[in-house]
Amino acid sequence: MSKAASTNVVHPTLQHKVFINFRGEELRGNFISHLINALKAEGIYPYIDNEEPLGEDLSVFFKRIKESSIAIAVISSLYSNSQWCLNELAEIKECVAEGKLVVFPVFYKVSVDTVRRQTSTFGENLNRLVGTDDNKGTKWRTALTYVTKKKGVSVHKKR
């Protein structure tokens, strides 16, 4: 096949089946890029938030979660600073509870226990973000606790 012809071929597995939920500010340039490269090497093309054009309605991310089969939730120390990460996690939790999605948590340089109990700086950041909005607080806390009960991995050391 000529080079020109091969650029027009759509890879059959490019439909995203894996949604990656993470705090971009903290992880985009390191852990996430390695994770994406490892998945792609296995023929898995994950969905990440920078694939949407600027100005796109944020509800598209919830649509992408619902279209996926697997969600990888990479929870890090700054994760609880992000309302958007927590909203995505709450949506992931709902899809898992409905049997429409499997979640695989990765605890990146934060302990499962800290996330489960929402303690230390992680919990302080969450409390600050929640403020007085009990509805959001309950939804986010429930999703965080839920994901700590799923089989996942913890990454604590530099390699």
Catalytic residues: 88
Reading the block at residue 48, the tokens are: 């990440």
Q: What's the farthest any 2 CA atoms get from each other in the chain?
A: 61
The DSSP element (H or E) to which 126 belongs, if any, is: helix 120-130
Distance in angstroms (rounded) separating the CA atoms of residues 46 and 137: 29
3-state helix, strand, coil in the chain (%, to 5): 50, 15, 35
